[in-house]
Amino acid sequence: MQAEINDHALNYILKGADDGLPVVFIHGFPFSHRMWDPQLAALPIKYRAIAYDVRGHGQSGVGEGQYTLELFVDDLLGLLDYLDVSQAVVCGLSMGGYITLRAVERHPERFLAMILCDTRSEADTNEARIKRAATIQIVRSYGAPAFAEDFLKAVLAPHTFESQPDVVEMVRAMIISNTSLGICGTLLALAARTDTTPSLTSMDLPALVLVGEQDALTPIDAAQRLQDHLPQAQLSIIPDSAHLSNLENPAAFNMALLSFLDSLE
């Protein structure tokens, strides 16, 4: 389905009961709502699941490609308003976690709980910003397919390439379905995002932090810092997975997710 949010076409899907507890899923960069397929399939019908494509990704509009993380947060809040959701549980992975943390920082009254997956609260270091700038040049010069091959190695555990080729192909397909403009615009937004670490202690709502045990991009120590600073956080390490823990080990991920959601009722 398509909604006009902030003068921009945003693609979203709904699943479950209209009057159920709203759970919003925000994907990572540079993927789409499809990355949440294993979670949407496992989620009981009593929940109102909402998954959407961040602008510049999937089937959402690309626009002019000049993005900020604040704009991504505005889109999330606009979508909640469009769907008449006053409060929701929000689940974000990597970039989705950045959006989640900034949204809760700006508007804590809109959220009942948060699930932070393979993410961090800190802003990019100078080294990370330089690396994003170099990636922009690669995407501009060679396109999304060339970028995808190196990025796959960064986000997936080595054994995933051998044991789960279907997951590898799914992730590759999501990446190359995005435009170069959308990818580059998002890289700029991620590089310029704010540091939400100082606000963590004031985010006094139930929180679940999930991280793949082999995640090299947002490693276990980053997840532990989130748990240490959030007043009501619990941490679950997902075995046999790296940065895309929800796809690489959906059974363990879903067990932790559903247990947490059950605890909210």
Residue 43 · residue 23 · CB < 8 Å: yes
Domains of the chain: 2-263 (3.40.50.1820)
Place of tokens 């997951």: 167
Global confidence as pTM: 0.98
Q: H helices within 10-94, ranges in order? A: 37-42, 69-82
pLDDT at residue 25, rounded to an integer? 99
For tokens 């006053």, name the residue.
86
Question: Is the bond into 30 cis (omega within 30 degrees of 0)?
Answer: yes
pLDDT at 265: 80
Reduce the DSSP state of residue 116 to 3 states and report it: strand
- Positive or negative: CA dihedral 193, 194, 197, 202: negative
Q: Give the Cα separation of 84 and 246 in Å (integer).
A: 28
H helices present in 114-194, as ranges: 126-142, 144-155, 158-163, 165-176, 180-191
For the chain, what is the largest distance between any 2 Cα atoms, rounded to a whole number of angstroms? 50
Per-residue CA distances from 59 to 1, 55, 63, 85, 125 (Å): 10, 8, 12, 22, 31
- C-alpha distances (whole Å) from 8 to each of 44, 72, 78, 218, 259 are 31, 11, 11, 30, 35
- Which pair of tokens denotes residue 200? 């963590």
- In order along its 265 residues, the chain shows pLDDT tens digits of 999 999 999 999 999 999 999 999 999 999 999 999 999 999 999 999 999 999 999 999 999 999 999 999 999 999 999 999 999 999 999 999 999 999 999 999 999 999 999 999 999 999 999 999 999 999 999 999 999 999 999 999 999 999 999 999 999 999 999 999 999 999 999 999 999 999 999 999 999 999 999 999 999 999 999 999 999 999 999 999 999 999 999 999 999 999 999 999 8
